[in-house]
């Protein structure tokens, strides 16, 4: 069943395009910005599309060596955001992924309309869930939550490798 957004309904969630499939290719001559934001429908496939998008962005930025770490963080944060129940919101709601290329770091920011902060738990050996934030915390050099009026923003940062003589 295809659902179209009800434009007459007022929502506190920012209006952003929702991706249900692959991100369209960017023209080769267009400069690639240092901040890239993409919305994904909060479905079971959101983490997969977000991983692909993040890998393409990192390659365009020339920091492909960070792909294994950043893509894992993107996957965990988007999966957490897409699995949150949002009462009274559109189904599926939008999970917004923002990637920022900073001088010494890459920032991964995931917004979702659930205001409840994620909880870092200690999963038992046989638990099937509960390891995502621990993985993000282990892989990142910074992890935080920014409460917002219409949801929350979870931010994780990864250090960029440097070469002798300057920033890469």
Return the sign of the alpha-carbon dihedral for residues 27, 157, 79, 110. negative
Return the sign of the alpha-carbon dihedral for residues 20, 145, 130, 135. positive
Residue 102, both tokens? 């900073």
pLDDT band at 7 (very low <50, low <70, confident <90, very high): very low
DSSP H helices in the chain: 46-61, 67-82, 132-139
Per-residue pLDDT at 50 exceeds 70: yes
Q: Is 91 helix (H, G, I), strand (E, B) or coil?
A: coil
CB 86 within 8 A of CB 115: no
**What's the whole-model pTM score?**
0.76
Tens of pLDDT, residues 81-109: 998 776 666 677 899 999 999 989 999 99
Tens of pLDDT, residues 108-121: 999 999 888 887 77
């Amino acid at each position: 069943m295809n659902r179209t957004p009800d434009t007459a309904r007022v929502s506190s969630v920012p209006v952003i395009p929702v991706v249900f499939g692959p991100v369209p290719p960017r023209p080769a001559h267009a400069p690639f910005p240092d901040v890239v934001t993409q919305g994904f429908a909060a479905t079971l496939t959101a983490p997969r599309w977000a991983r692909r998008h993040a890998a393409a962005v990192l390659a365009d930025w020339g920091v492909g060596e960070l792909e294994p770490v950043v893509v894992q963080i993107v996957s965990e944060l988007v999966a957490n955001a897409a699995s949150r129940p949002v009462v009274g919101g559109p189904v599926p709601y939008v999970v917004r992924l923002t990637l920022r290329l900073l001088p010494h770091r890459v920032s991964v920011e995931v917004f979702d309309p659930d205001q409840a902060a994620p909880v870092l738990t200690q999963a038992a050996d046989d638990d099937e869930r509960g390891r995502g934030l621990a993985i993000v915390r282990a892989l990142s050099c910074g992890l935080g939550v920014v409460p917002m009026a219409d949801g929350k923003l979870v931010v994780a940062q990864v250090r960029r490798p440097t070469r002798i003589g300057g920033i890469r």
